[in-house]
Structure 1
Amino acid sequence: MDFEYSDKTKQLLEHLKCFMHDHVYPAEAVFHRQLQEDRWGEPAILAELKIKAREAGLWNLFLPDSNSGAGLSNLEYAPLAEEMGRVLFSSEVFNCSAPDTGNMEVLARYGSPRQREQWLKPLLAGEIRSAFAMTEPKVASSDATNIETSIVRTGDDYVINGHKFYISGALNRRCKILIVMGKTDPDNSDRHRQQSQILVPVDTPGVNIIRPMTVFGYDDAPEGHAEIVFDNVRVPADNLILGEGRGFEIAQGRLGPGRIHHCMRLIGQAQRALEMMCRRAEQRVVFGRPMSRQGSVREDIARSACEIEQARLLTLKAADWMDRYGNRAARDLISMIKIVAPQMACNVIDRAIQIHGAAGLSQDYNLAQHYSYARTIRLADGPDQVHMMQLGRNLAARYGAESD
């Protein structure tokens, strides 16, 4: 692969870095202060930044469709996502935040003309937000075939009953639409044809948001992670996406880009943690000399730089393969980055916390919340163990069939 970024990417990246420096970093403290005043609304500073980003042409950068987005390949988008990942809320500034990106890709790829008109257009415009409701508390949702939520056809409608939790984004008052995964054909002998996905407006009667789930005590406002009970929720039959029994297929198509976007953002978080680690080590004096002169500190810095670069290169290779050969052909590389990048970020951020001492655990730095996010991604979009199981299976089958 060509390790040199395209001219288009270089120009956008420089533009994005300048925007981050001029507008996003200075807004971090304001964002958190305004968020305390209204946990589930949109901080005013965020709305202001979105207007500036759109005017600057930094909007929908994730979308390969040049009619609605920047028309970038996965490889071209990677360094931009990394840069946005340095600040937890900044992806939304550019309308590139999860779970909206995945939902927009689902609607763009699989949605009907009516579905795209009603829901994709306002999502692309940043007028609303969305959530993806798959995970359930009573079953091992890492195996999506276990999902128990029922989607039953009744005349011209579908009726939905089920219990979901950790539904990211659903607590935000600007979240207007849920993509819900459940079973339309639970008795189908093909377990991967039992599931379907359906669009459910949040204000539909019977959609009961029970509470926000926390992650290490963080409620991750203003998006949050909702526990939701669907109690005889009735929606029109044409809210079904693609057709009955296509839910697993849609999920696989959605998760490929989503997984790599998470990894790209995590690399940005880890890189920022490394830079903070270095500054702290240079400025902090312990036992009569800067921390950076302590051998163990230097080792932590060096090891972190190596791990970040390894994860970055592996992520770029996965992105390149997705562009060249498609998501299915790149599935082993996608599994590799999903295993490697979150663990790398956890390790690097943990070292940065340690070098910052007690302050690293505090609200004065972003390290604790960044660690929480990185640890979450070791479970989100498939836990480490599932990716290792699938990767090991594929590799054993591939090389086991070869003769010496």
Structure 2
Amino acid sequence: MKHLQKVLFLTAALAGTQMTGVAMAAESSNAVVIKAARMLNAQDGKWIAPAMLVVRDDKIVAAGSSVSVPNGAKVIDLGNKSLLPGLIDMHTHLTGDPESAGYSVVALSMPRVALTGAKNARLTLEAGFTTVRDVGAEGYTDIALRDAINAGDVPGPRMVASGPALGITGGHCDETIHAPEYKISASGVADGVDAVMKKTREVIKYGAGVIKFCATGGVLSFGDDPRTSQYTLEEMKTIVSEAHRLGRKVAAHAHGGDGIKLAVLAGVDSIEHGSYIDEEGAKLMKEHKTWLVPTVYLGDWLVQNAEAIKLPLPLLEKAKVVLPDARKHIAKAIAAGVPIAFGTDAAVYPHGLNGREFAVLTKLGMSNADAIRTATINASKLLGWEDKVGSLDKDKFADIIAVDGDPLKDITELERVKWVMKGGKVVKTVQ
């Protein structure tokens, strides 16, 4: 009996060893090794050369200049290319296009808008932006798009989406083009403390992963001034406290100095645009560790293409004043050390051109390495996703891009991303 038990034990142990071997072989066979001339350490802005990354499923499992290649691993050799973390855009509107920003198209159905978003999600991903924060879409079309991407139905970046942006009646986040007899208001409109609390809860109910509200007037809206505040401090505090209590961060559209300060004092996580940020506002943002998400390249594209997109004259006149002023103030904020995260406001200009923002940031005083950091390390911190994205480190998502040259020397290389992997899957091959 004891002899039989020993035989059975040895047989089971041998079977376990064989099964472990089979499991190890299977585990090795689904590994992918990516080789290239160099890869960027986004944290310190230095190259690691040569570059080797081991990817299994959707994660990076090893990274360095010399790592062990698992048996049976697929090898992707990108030759002399440079690897960087997938880029992050913290201010997009994937379901919009420049023509709708210019109000030449006002009758699109929500299903049609969502399908526009599917097109723009693909363009954004192929441009090297593997993660975006989408901050404002009517009809929860951005939420539908996010869910479709997560389900694998359509290609696109990882999305943190806000749903409709909150705003005051007649403010920048309301519909200000329609005649009064139509009685049309944007779905995020809410006035007063009780109403903004309810609206914050409502957009979270329907899937918002971040809350966006308009603290000041804007450029692409009628009847308001970008320099003036809209929500009161009490209303802003209500939005922020309720969002934070429910586990969401808050982004505030704010051009004017007073609106920026009120939003910072209310506790927002980021200021979007910041066109008229002044010395006091910059100081407050540093003290409160509030991120600034400037969107500066759009000033070039919008003015140059205003006629083509039929931008109404009153909006063009505002743009010609606000957008050049914004660069002066943003440059001072950068010099003052305000924390910066990358954003584009893509939709005001065509999606896929997001990388053009980098060159403007460097013209405003950033080094190339610092500009890249805004769209990697900094953006991941603002998202609260430091453990998921933003660097080519073990256990992060395998979100990786490749360019031909050295963006530390020529930042415009990031306008010409050649190869993209998101979550371990190649979504754009070398051209």
- Give the number of the structure with larger relative contact order, counting CA–CA contacts within 8 Å between residues 6 or more apart: 2
TM-score after normalising by structure 2: 0.23
TM (norm. structure 1) is 0.24
- The structure that is helix-richer by fraction is 1
Query: Who wins on radius of gyration, i.e. which is larger?
Result: 2
